[in-house]
A = this chain, B = another copy of it.
Amino acid sequence: MSEIFIGVDFGGTNIKIGYFDSKLKLICKTTAATKADMGPEAVVDRITQTTKKLLADNNLSAQAIQAVGIGAPGPSRIDEGIIVAAPNLPLFRNVPLRQMLEEKLSKPVIFENDANAACWGEHVAGAGKGVDEMVFFTLGTGIGGGIITNGKLVHGFADDAAELGHIITHPGGRVCGCGQKGCVEAYASASATAARATEAVQTGAKSTLKKLLDEKGEITCKDVFDHCDAGDALAKEIIEGTANALGLLCVDVLHVTGPQRIVFAGGMIAAGDLLLSRIKYYFKQHIWTLKPEPLEICFATLGEDAGIIGAATLAAQAVETKPNG
């Protein structure tokens, strides 16, 4: 009998599912709409059916599964496999996702926070391969992340480690959605970058973004990068602010867990070297002169597959360490 692993990346809009062979090679993947408004039971049903169809298309049954890994949005209780609450999933309150999925599939399910699963994916197969001391940031609507120390994911006491977007880089600054002032997320996330540009234009700053705002009614983070690339001075100033905050963030996390490598992921890294080179520049501006730092700063390489790869790998590792699991 083959021994395969399933990796699930459970998002507010889509669910990605991949099936992996016994050597954890990704064989096939699929995506289904989450339809979170239909409630937890229906969503777990859809994960089950989509998984079974993915396997059937490859002439396999659910019997072939050795274990399933799922990365889900938090806050969650990781050991118990429970989604406590999630901003994009209003119907998911204290949902025992792991247990529900185990009952449907009759297979062991391993539960992890979604950013941690993606972090683990990059660690085993991507930009952090072989790096046992690593910090992982996701730059999207918000800023999230994962931490690896001594080769292991750090969950923290209340499963709220690596809330990296809420490190304060601008004390007393912009109010964050979390209630703190000056979080890096309030400056350097995609939405904060867009918001800072919008506010500047609305308060009279000269920019080619003005016409865009007048016509479209909004400025996106991508617009800011595009206009920066095209030479707009305000857009450049906004991007410099974003990179500056991320450079400071790198200094702060370096001094906590001492990573070998910091890996940035998420939608914003599509900006490429325009962003990466400036993050590195500001890191060098802010870091001490006491001694040279061997820290490497880079972008993730697995794209949207990081979550399913990480989840499947965590599942395989869990059954390895629990032979009867």
Chain A contact residues, CB within 8 Å of chain B: 75, 132-133, 147, 149-150, 152, 154-164, 166-171, 176, 178-181, 248, 251-261, 286-291, 293-295
Contacts known (A152-B150, A154-B150); A256 close to B162, Cβ less than 8 A = yes
A169–B248 alpha-carbon span in the complex (Å): 10
- Give me 17 A-to-B residue pairs in the complex whose CB atoms sit less than 8 angstroms apart, sorted by A's number: A133-B157, A149-B152, A149-B156, A149-B257, A154-B257, A156-B258, A158-B258, A161-B258, A166-B288, A168-B169, A168-B286, A170-B171, A179-B289, A180-B251, A180-B287, A180-B288, A252-B256
A260 touches B157 (CB 8 A): yes
Q: How far is the CB of A289 from chain B (nearest CB, A)?
A: 3
Q: Which residues in B have their C-beta under 8 angstroms from that of A256?
A: 147, 161-162, 164, 167, 252-253, 256-257
B147 touches A178 (CB 8 A): no
B167 touches A290 (CB 8 A): no
A interface majority secondary structure: loop
A155 touches B258 (CB 8 A): yes
Nearest B residue to A153, CB-CB: B150
A166 touches B257 (CB 8 A): no
A259 touches B157 (CB 8 A): yes
Q: Which residues in B have their C-beta under 8 angstroms from that of A259?
A: 156-157
A258 touches B288 (CB 8 A): no
Q: How far is the CB of A187 from chain B (nearest CB, A)?
A: 11
Q: Which residues in B have their C-beta under 8 angstroms from that of A161?
A: 133, 149, 256-258
B168 touches A251 (CB 8 A): yes
B255 touches A257 (CB 8 A): no
B154 touches A255 (CB 8 A): no
Contacts known (A156-B133, A168-B252); A291 close to B75, Cβ less than 8 A = yes
Q: How far is the CB of A197 from chain B (nearest CB, A)?
A: 21
Nearest B residue to A258, CB-CB: B156
Nearest B residue to A296, CB-CB: B157
Q: How far is the CB of A101 from chain B (nearest CB, A)?
A: 25
A258 touches B171 (CB 8 A): no
